Amino acid sequence: MKYAPLLALTLALGACERLSEVGRLPALAPVTSPTAAPGYQPVSMPMPAAQVPTHGGNSLWRPGSRTFLRDQRAASVGDLITVLVSIQDTAQMQNTTAREREGTDTMGIPRLLGLESSLTRLLPNSIDPSALVQTSGAQTTNGTGTLRRNETVTLRLAAIVTQTLPNGNLVVAGRQQVRVNHELRELQVTGVIRPQDIASDNTVRHDRLAEARIAYGGRGTLSDVQAPRYGQQLLDIVLPF
């Protein structure tokens, strides 16, 4: 295999990276701007037509403002906001399929322009022209599928406003890492929110995030034990059975 050396090199580099962490705690990622992360792309969505704000004469009220005092909720790039994640999903599906079919076919040539008597020259004398071909078949298919899922995730995460869209919506992104002994837990949340969905305590529920991406995972000693080894993962991909 011409790709065998490349595959071996890839596995070796991955193993060396893991071996470098032997006897050490999982390293925390440095605090950086979400816009500097590899693969970051500004969000582009359909926007309504721009509207010129109107100001009333001799009025201290600003259009769109909810109070005469300054609003302390997140509104600009760099502001912080707390995202409340509370996911409770329950799904249960059950499918049953049953199919059965039987068929019998019989074909013969008792009369064919008087040529049926010539069949004995080509076939044994005991041939019966009226029953030359007879087939039968039976098919039975039974299938049953059951899916049950129950997920519960409850947490709070501080995110940062990374972009303000032309219609006023805010793009937020947050990441949090917690290391306990030799286990590192990482949480990531990104999405688009409306300013009016931000509560007075500067929090927003996760179900108010459009294009929400919520990831909760980790790595460390316990995660290594639970994950299949590299060789097993490779065999699961390449083996057809």
At 29-54, the pLDDT tens digits run 787 888 888 888 888 877 777 777 66
Tokens of 111: 């009369």
List phi, psi (to 5°) of 174.
-145, 150
Among positive and negative, which fits the CA dihedral 174, 180, 181, 187? negative
Which sequence spans correspond to the domains of the chain?
72-91+150-241
Q: Looking at 28-42, 152-166, 184-198, which range is the least confident one?
A: 28-42
Q: Which of 132-141, 151-160, 232-241 has the highest mean pLDDT?
A: 151-160
User: Quick one: pLDDT band at residue 198, thresholds 50, 70, 90?
Assistant: very high
pLDDT at 11: 58
User: Quick one: pLDDT band at residue 125, thresholds 50, 70, 90?
Assistant: low
Query: Residue 113 and residue 98: Cα distance in Å, rounded?
Result: 47
pLDDT at 202: 92
Kindly tell me if the per-residue pLDDT of 66 is higher than 60. no
Judged by DSSP in three states, 177 sits in strand
pLDDT at 114: 65
Residues 6+ apart with CB under 8 A from 4: none
pLDDT at 209: 92
Entry pTM: 0.61
Judged by DSSP in three states, 123 sits in coil
Tokens of 139: 């098919």
Nearest to 82 by CA among 211, 204, 173, 196: 204
Query: Residue 125 and residue 141: Cα distance in Å, rounded?
Result: 42
Residue 166 DSSP class: T
pLDDT at 158: 93
Judged by DSSP in three states, 67 sits in coil
Kindly tell me if the per-residue pLDDT of 162 is higher than 70. yes
Cβ proximity of 68 and 145 under 8 Å: no
